[in-house]
Structure 1
Amino acid sequence: MLLHRMSATFGKLTDQTLELSDGLNLICAPNEAGKSTWCAFLSTMLYGFPARERGPLADKNRFTPWSGAAMRGSIECRCGGRELLVTRDTARASSPLGRFSAVYAGTADEVPGLTASSCGEELLGVPREVFERSALIRQAGMAVGQDAELERRIASLITTGEEDTSYTESCDRLKKQLNRRRYNKNGLIPDTEAVLRVREGELAQLRALTEALQDQLQRLKELDHRCKSLKEKIALCRSWEEAEAQTALRLQQEEAQAAQRRAELLRSRLEEERIPTMEEIARLRAAIVNLGTVRKSVEKAREDRDNAQRALYKAEVAVNNSPFAGQSPESARKTAASVPALRPRAWWFPVLLFLVGAGGTFLLSQGTYPLWAGGMAGCTGLLLGLLAVFRRQRSDLKKRTAFLEMYQASSPEALAEAADTYIKLYMAWERSQEEAAARSAAAEALYASLTTNEQAILIEIRRFRPAAFDLTAADDALRECVGRRREASEAETQAREAALRCQFAQAGLESAPSGQELPPRPQESPEELKRLLEAAQGEMAAVRSQADQLQGRLSAIGDEDTLRASVDTLRAALSGLQQEYDAIAMAMDALSSANTTLQNRFSPELGRRAAQIFSALTGGRYCKIALDRSFGASAQAGEDPIARDVRLLSQGTADQLYLAVRLAICDLLLPPEKEVPLILDDALVTFDDQRMAAALDYLSTCGRQILMFTCQSREADYLRTKGLAHIQSI
């Protein structure tokens, strides 16, 4: 399979594309640019996500696009002489890259037999486990691990070519049979079986937690290294900022001096023009505002005075319209009490005249006149007396009527009521007079105060504004003074702030400029670096918290030795089943012996091929490699008779040894007709320059398409001089 182009929205990659050619492709990128992400993307595009992975560290969660877009990707390649386009995208958020498509390039024809689950094996001829342990070479995973699929592949090369037999799987099946007989459901010792199962589960959990804790501690170490790197970059940014701050300080000092000169100029002008202070201006403006209040009070007092004058006029008209007008209340009261009285009728007077007339006539005539004459005389006297009585009564009534008509009263009672009404009107008129006088005096006093205060304010303002002859001009002058004062105050504030900025800037400078040339400034801004540092520290805190939780769970489970001792004790209690156990153990021994025989047949060929490659990588220093059944390796130098275990070699030599083993496995296990490409992720980072050159020379002539990702520039520099590779940067 020959890769032409890969396009990905995967992890930190967002719509990014890699153009590839046959032979050696060198992709240069700094750390965190996505090199490992591209490797994971290619493996995922070929084989999909591992089905058994769960949790936040599963690949489908780790490589969720940072941009928030849907995960998707495509691969353009040539396989079997035909150009193919393989795409995966996301139809449902719960199933990233769950939709698969494989068509012939330039058409919509689907490739028969190529599905999402079989894509990798169809295109490369090997399952995921073999591909990841042979052709996919990472810096952190150079060593070759044991795997059932890899064992099947090796067994197929040694024996009949069948790939359905694996020592690990057979051994696992025998072990399950052993456990089944040891824990038969018909169980001879069910109580011991239950306890043993619990203890073994706890032991397995303990080991898993221990591995997880080691992973977290390794992650903490990596994050700590990253934090130190970010802190160094931040310190370098601070050095640049310190140098820039020196220049900024000089500019600020010049600005502060200019602001100080301007403030002094404005202050001197204020003193020359005798502009009052803000307190005096506030006092004068408050006085002007108070004058407005007083003026309103004057207008209100005048209005009250006019209302009082109108009320006085109405009261005076009411008093003058009364028949008692001109009289005092006491006089009106006496007048009402002096109504002429009607004298009582004197009935005794007609009777007296009757007796006098009759008796006088009788005495005077001494009997000369007849008796009736005396009666007539008495009657005449009676009539005259009655007439006198009625005339006197009529005279009294005329006098009373004339008196009442003079005061427009129909009766003495009405006259008394009119007198009371007049007294009330008279008293109201007197009160109106007092109110009008008081209102008038108050209005005059307020107006006098208004005039006096206005003149005093204008006199005070004309001391610095001679043209202010009215309150409007005075208020405008005060407003102008406020503006002048504010301008001066703002200038002084600006001068103080500029001086303070200079002081703060000077105090913030840790040292005087050294004059030494600084290293190149980091591309990231200090804020970005701080954000990255905070993110790394936050991740460290989260990882540390997870490690603490794992440590707590480990402490809660107990000591591993204690658990093992408990398991051994329980197994010893099951000695009654030892016969079956021994039989199965013998079968497992036989299987192990057979596997050893197969390994002994395969290891020499693998070791010979790996030794050839290792010799080429090390310039002929090492000539032999020995591999055990678990791919543990040892190397022998040409002049050294003793093979050295890989753990005794330097890190760089160990990586070169494992790279040689990996390349030998690729040559022996990968189907040649599939032309499986090699992917190397910073695999040469520990190589010195000479062995790096040897490795590049070998890789460029191995006859495969190679995708080499690197964070260094030395590989590109070397390959450019040789013209052996297609080089690109991301």
Structure 2
Amino acid sequence: MRIHRMTATFGKLQGRSLELGDGLNIIEAPNETGKSTWCAFLLSILYGVNSRERDRAGFIADKNRFAPWSGAAMSGRMDCGTELGELTLTRATRRQTSPMGEFSAVYAGTNEPVPGLTGAACGETLLGISREVFERSAFIRQNNLPISQDAELERRIAALISSGEEGTSYTEAADALKKQLNRRRHNRTGQLPALETELAELDRQLSESNSLARQLVQARSEVEALSRRAEILQAELTDCNRWEAAQRRQALSGAASAAEQAEVRAAQVQERLQQDQIPENETIARLRGAIVNLETTRRAVDKARSERDEAMKALLRAEAAVNESPFAGQSPESARREAAGTENEPVKWNPVPGVLTFLIGVPLCFVVTYAVLFLTGSHSKLLALLTMLAGFSCVCALALFLKKRAFQAGWAELRLKRFGTADLDAIRQLAEDYAKLCEARDAAQASVNAKSAAADTLYSSLSSNEQGILLEVRRFAPDAFDIPTADQLLRACAVRRKELAEAETAAREARMRYELQVQQAPAPGTPEADVPAPVRSREAISTELDRVRAALAEARSSADRLDGQLHAAGDPAVLRASAEDLAARKERLETEYSALRLAMEALEGANTALQNRFSPALGRRAAEIFSRLTDNRYAGVVLDRSFRLSAEPVGDPVFRDAALLSAGALDQLYLAVRLAICELVLPPEKQVPIVLDDALANFDDSRCAAALQFLKEAAGNRQILLFTCHSREGEFFAGDREVFVQRLTDAAVEV
């Protein structure tokens, strides 16, 4: 297959085209110019876009990752040469849910469709391999150089061992055997566990059915035994009823006699009470209540007298307080007037100090006047007159002051003698206190009058009630002359009335017992003679009969329940037949399971044997390529069915696991194995193109040159597309017309 031209509206590519030549194509482009997008487009144009793929953590589905940035529908075209001829393949998007789902394959330059070439089978038809094999062999990405396991790739590589047949794969065979094994048994699931569960359930049902049958027989036996015991107890209870009927007839005669005697005694007591004129209970109760009320009234009289005495004492104390006041004998109003008039009351005063002051002061004024004139040396009459007037004024003022002092001293002495204090406010307060004492005395007098009247009223009522009670008691007890005697006589009457009530009650009860026994007595008939007394009491017989009946009902219910459960459990014969059928099916499945286990073990043994000689031709060719890429540093390469790789350094017989190699050497080993697979495994007639996306990024210059030289040689049989972000690959083939080198930019393609 040769790809001539690709045109894509895919991801960042918007109607961009890429021309390709035969042999080795070097497509050089900076990062983010669409190298990986062209590779993904090539894969999608051949095998389509998986519309069922979904985004997940760390992964974006191709249908979303390469959706055109412009918002246009995903589409593309590829012109190629195949064994079917020159073809034009196109894919377009008609429905958003099926990107590039519209496929067309026509012969180049015509509209004639290629028969049998569909979108689903396009890649496998043109390349001869499935998408999985293509991605694991000829489609080489930098981040996907390691080879993952695939059943079809495994079949193709296994064909190199001996048989050349591609129809077998250990993985598919093991999966098929494992599915069959799991179908029959997988932990607790599968046909065998289901049969075992069903068989265990049938065994349980059979066991339960047999147990129910045994329990039903036992329950029916218990019902019969309890029925017989109930009949015996019922007969014993009938004999007890007969004996009790005879006893009741005897008791009825005794009850009639006792009722007659009680009625006679009650009549005798009633007659004696009438003869003694004993009052009725109501009268006795009323009089005794009145006597009790007398005690209450007497206590009230005592309390009223005590309160009256206390009021008399309070009155005496109030009168004494009034008499002790300096205003005693006056009314409160006159006391207030007297207290208010003490300030203006005439008083005797001593005039001697004033007269002496005047007699001494006048001469002294003349002396002072003469002294002033002498000291000033003046003979002015006016000065002398003024000095005399001033002195005379001073003498008069002093005389008046002494007079006022004399008056005040007289008033103070008079008030102190009359009221014991000279303070006018204190005297007024004494008057107010006297008024309050008078009010308290009057209130005490009113209280004494009221309490005396109450005590007299209560005593009068007490005397009247005592006389009334005694008069009424003497009607039937002439000896009652005082209240205590009357109370004793009333008590005696109450006792006799109580005796009558008890006699009448006894007579009524005796009559009621007789009538009740008459009602309960057996029907008149011939009395049975010599009825034997029962061995046990009626209570014991009835208790046991109730217990036996309850047990019988429970036993019958249990038997009915067991019978229903036995019918619900099913026919034991049917259950046994079902169990035998299940046992046979289980035995057959166990035989198949054992055979499958043996086949699985045989397959695993064969696979173990093949692991040691898995595709020696592939290993040898990979070793040759790896040795050439590494300048003969390694001599051998081995791989197993899981594509685990090991390399043998030259001069060192110990193989090194691929994980121990450097990143660059590891990429070179994976590339060698991929190229070996492409040579030996892929169908040569299809000339499957090899696509490398930055696969040489980790190669140093020397090993990169070796790889490029090898790729040029390999391109003699197939087309190889090498996408790279470096310029060294293009520079290595500068001037080489057998290699088609072009540079991609965001704007155009440079050749």
Q: Structure 2 length normalisation: TM-score?
A: 0.43
Under a length normalisation based on structure 1, what TM-score does the superposition of the two structures give? 0.45
Bigger Rg, structure 1 or 2: 2
